[in-house]
Amino acid sequence: MTHTTGTVTSTSTTATELRTAPLAALRASVRTRTLVALDIDGTLLGADGIVPAVTVGAVREVRRSGHHVVLASGRSLVGILPVAGQLGIEQGWAVASNGAVVARVDADLPSGYRIEKMHSFDTEPVVRLARAALPTVQVGVEEVGWGYRVDRVFEQGLVNGQQRRVADTELWEAPAARVILRGDGVLSLLAPLRELGVTATPAGPDWVDVTPLSLSKATALERIRERVGVDPGATLAVGDGVNDLEMITWAARGVAMGHAPAAVIDAADEVTGRIEEHGVVAVLSTLR
């Protein structure tokens, strides 16, 4: 494991050199384009919900250099789009809901996006199991592009998009990409949930995200990597949470934020600065 401690400036090819380079060299240049997967909360922005100007500039410079920046988050898609807007990403890729949703950001569309792939599952067994084990558990079922069906309204800032309070039977009225379970003791449900044949990911001491089986940010990113034609060795991922573990180990260069849990740091190839130190900027600067 290494530590990213500063800015590394790479030598770029000039326009004149490109015009005179052999075709083979041009193709080699294209192959060096990197797929850059970036977590959002705790990586690009802190609790204030604002991406710092220095981070915005770093992301724009990386994209201007031709690299593919993909926002990969546990957030729902409606929570990712405003961040893409802050970063000036009008066309690009996004991984939402811990890999259950792959979308193209497209500012020219009325919705601002196009769903490329959405995985869903039967939520009834999950809700019934959670209810039986923890009667007071708070449940949210994601409606992609809109918000959540909920049994009780989540406090402001906890979920993205709108909320519609419904009876338990309506929580499972249709397959969904994700279920949120929140409450004291909810982490005790991880093993029983996985026995149901779903992916259960802790997102805090009182929060579990449930998505279809065998999904993660990494599975979605691999789909995007194949679509854009990036070599597996030209992949970079930066994150700070447990839900970033698969993404960090998937990438040829996996970087943990300095404030990440020990398990994430141990899995990473490098460790950069903390969120307040703009650690992601130091990483992105090595791609210029």
Q: Are residues 191 and 281 both part of a single domain? A: no
236: domain CATH number is 3.40.50.1000
> What is the pLDDT, as a whole number, of residue 187?
97
> What is the pLDDT, as a whole number, of residue 8?
32
Only one residue has tokens 């990113």, namely: 221
Name the strands in the sheet holding 2-3, side by side, starting at the edge strand that comes first in the sequence. Answer: 2-3, 270-271, 253-256, 235-239, 35-38, 68-72, 91-96, 101-106, 113-118
Q: Are residues 138 and 51 both part of a single domain? A: no
Give the bridge partners for 143, in sequence order: 147
> What is the pLDDT, as a whole number, of residue 3?
56
Q: Which of 196, 212, 228 is the last residue of a domain?
A: 212
Q: Are residues 202 and 176 both part of a single domain? A: yes
pLDDT at 272 over 80: yes
Q: What is the pLDDT of residues 107-150, one digit of tens each?
A: 999 999 999 999 999 999 999 999 999 999 999 999 999 999 99
Q: Residue 5 carries which side chain, given as an amino acid letter?
A: T
**φ, ψ (nearest 5 deg) of residue 36:** -110, 105
Q: How far apart are CA 277 and CA 87, in angstroms?
A: 18
Q: Are residues 70 and 154 both part of a single domain? A: no
Q: Are residues 202 and 231 both part of a single domain? A: no
* H or E element, residue 127: helix 124-133
pTM of structure: 0.87
Total number of domains in the chain: 2
Q: How far apart are CA 223 and CA 114, in angstroms?
A: 15
The tokens describing 241, both together, are 């949470």
* Contact (CB, 8 A) for 214 and 201: no
> What is the pLDDT, as a whole number, of residue 146?
96
- b (16+ CB within 10 A) / e for 63-83: beeebbbbbbbbbbbbbbbeb
Indicate the DSSP class of residue 177. Answer: S
> What is the pLDDT, as a whole number, of residue 32?
76
Indicate the DSSP class of residue 1. Answer: -
Under the banding of pLDDT at 50, 70 and 90, the label for residue 25 is: very low
Mean pLDDT value across the chain: 90
Q: What is the pLDDT of residues 68-89, one digit of tens each?
A: 999 999 999 999 999 999 999 9
Q: Which of 212, 237, 265 is the last residue of a domain?
A: 212
Under the banding of pLDDT at 50, 70 and 90, the label for residue 1 is: low
3-state secondary structure of 175: coil
Q: Are residues 142 and 162 both part of a single domain? A: yes
Full domain range(s) for residue 84: 2-118+215-287
* H or E element, residue 264: helix 262-267
**φ, ψ (nearest 5 deg) of residue 64:** -65, -30
Under the banding of pLDDT at 50, 70 and 90, the label for residue 4 is: low
- DSSP letters along 14-74, please? PHHHHHHS-HHHHHHHHHT--EEEE--BTTTB-TT----HHHHHHHHHHHHTT-EEEEE-S
Q: What is the pLDDT of residues 56-70, one digit of tens each?
A: 999 999 999 999 999
Q: What is the pLDDT of residues 146-202, one digit of tens each?
A: 999 999 999 998 999 999 999 999 999 999 999 999 999 999 999 999 999 999 999
